[in-house]
Structure 1
């Protein structure tokens, strides 16, 4: 199996990195958390201009018709910069749900143009993210239904607003696309871990103790190196799951990515010290998003159990890799 990215994938990552580096994403995330979605929606429109919003939208509806590998590349970079909003839902899951339904003709062109969407897929994703700004709000409950927002729930991440879903018009039957959501969230966690490592390295270089940068001390070097190793070990699992598409591979990727991102969060906070706890410091934008995504799209224990069930099952019951 080939895990290396091609030139077109690296170009997608560079384009997205350049766009987000110039977009002052921390300010966008703070505005989103404060109930001002306009800067975030403007950023969504810019993402649509470079094709990110339409990655999973079929070409006949104005999208690119890309596959899971391209989505993983994009979500890695969207996590590297803490872009707020229902990204997994808008870019991956809802387009996958609507692509095979007649309602797709109504909604998919708008999603390719940068309109946000959200979805609830109980039991593992019982609440819909940012339903108050979504153009399309769906719930998968014995079929795909349009939904209306019910009671709101707060998240550990101030930039995430969770809503109960009240099913309405039935759109039809479709695959739940749950594993696609898990895969994209895993890639997002990888990117968040990279962002945290970047912040920690910059701070370790700038902060000085005893006349030396703290990054020059062996204990700090080892902690940062361990974070890098964890992220690089998780990366091929995420890329491999994008290729195979099997549930066990997706769950294994999610577990590894979440653990690596969590380690990056703990080390970054340790390196920053007390300043990392302050609400004013940008570090918190990455920390809280890692904490929220670690339990989104299924818990770590559930995904571990699914991997265990797969590897202990008789050979005749093992899920075959999806054809590509």
Structure 2
């Protein structure tokens, strides 16, 4: 099976990257930290660009692409830490009026947590009694459902999970891969310019090993996510989520190590990737569930 990107897929990824560079650059990311509200204009811009309607048939006003293309798009969203319930709104396109155009913000409960509940126009599922909890990620406000201190759903074999739930897991994994890539890029850039003891720190073996390990994590997770988007196999999706969570969290930690003390400051973006990775890892099929899914499949 050939997992190399087609020319159209490469063009799609390039176009989305350029779009997000215009709509949500580092200045916009920093501005979002100072605002508790979701940027509705940004949401409508995303809708107009086909972000949410990507997999809707063309006859229904969508772009008519498939899950592999959606994975590429969500990887780019993760790379820039695009905020908001992106996965839920994407999955609601064609089902909830206004979702595909970005006119409506849709969220749902996953593992007992509800992101962006106060900002959502439509909430899928019963979230009565949900209480606000302090989120480690300043760009992902959270509520928790009552009686769900951990996983909200009992274990079910992966093949019995609804298709939409599996798709949500895979798209979240794609976001994690994008974040892992961003952490790798930041680490390499810093290692090439930061000097200590008369040379750039990228010349030190310990730093080289950290960056090499980050690259391996990223490529392994990306391959697993891309493959699962083609095969649609439930167990492969669970395995991809495991690898993507490990890559996003592990790369952010190692990126902090490469940056040294400055990586822990508010001015650096590294900590934002680590915090988002922690939240994403808990929102859709946390490690304990994914491990059970893979084990059951084996």
What band does the TM-score fall into relative to the shorter chain? 0.7 to 0.9
Show the counterpart of 2:42. 43
Q: Give the corresponding residue for 1:120.
A: 109
Match of 1:275 in 2: 262
1:182-230 deviations in whole A, cap 9, x for unaligned?
1001110000000011111111112101111111212211210111112
| Number of equivalenced pairs | 283
User: Equivalents in 1 of 2:101, 2:236: separation in Å?
Assistant: 31
Change (3 A) 1:19 1:42: same
Residue 5 of structure 1 corresponds to 5
Q: Can you list the C-alpha shifts for 1:73-103, whole angstroms capped at 9, x where unaligned? A: 10111111111111111123x33xxx5xxxx
Structure number having the greater strand percentage: 1
SS in 1 for 2:82: coil
Distance in 1, Cα, partners of 2:50 & 2:56: 10
Q: Contact conserved, 1:54 with 1:112, CA < 8 A, in 2?
A: yes
Q: In 2, distance between residues paired with 1:34 and 1:89? A: 24
Q: Once superposed, which parts of structure 1, at least 4 consecutive aligned residues long, lie more than 6 Å away?
A: none
2:99 is aligned to 111
Aligned to 1:135: 121
Q: Normalising by structure 2, report the TM-score.
A: 0.87
Q: How far apart are 1:281 and its partner, in Å?
A: 1.8
Partner of 1:256: 243
Structure 2 counterparts to residues 273-312 of structure 1, below 5 A: 273-311=260-298
Match of 1:111, SS state, is coil
**For residues 164 and 305 of structure 1, do their structure 2 counterparts lie closer, same or farther at Cα, with a shift above 3 Å needed?**
closer
CA change 1:273–1:52 in 2 (3 A) is same
Question: For residue 162 of structure 1, what is the aligned residue in structure 2?
Answer: 142
Q: Which runs of 5+ in 2 are unaligned?
A: 147-160
Question: Whole-Å Cα distance in 2 between the matches of residues 247 and 175 of structure 1?
Answer: 10
**Counterparts of residues 15-164 of structure 1 (less than 5 Å):** 15-37=15-37, 40-92=39-91, 94-95=92-93, 99=94, 104=95, 107-108=96-97, 110-114=98-102, 115-121=104-110, 125-139=111-125, 150-164=130-144
Distance 1:256 1:304 in 2: 11
* Residues in 2 aligned to 1:53 and 1:258: alpha-carbon distance in whole angstroms: 23
Residue aligned with 2:83, SS: coil
Q: 2: CA distance between counterparts of 1:308 and 1:164?
A: 28
Distance in 2 between residues matched to 1:176 and 1:89, nearest whole Å: 13
TM score, norm. by length of structure 1: 0.80
1:293–1:216 CA distance, 2 compared to 1 (3 A): same
- The answer for unaligned runs of 5 or more in structure 1 is 142-146, 167-173, 312-324
Q: Deviations over 1:119-175 (max 9, x none)?
A: 114xxx222210222222111x6xxxxx66842122211111112469xxxxxxx94
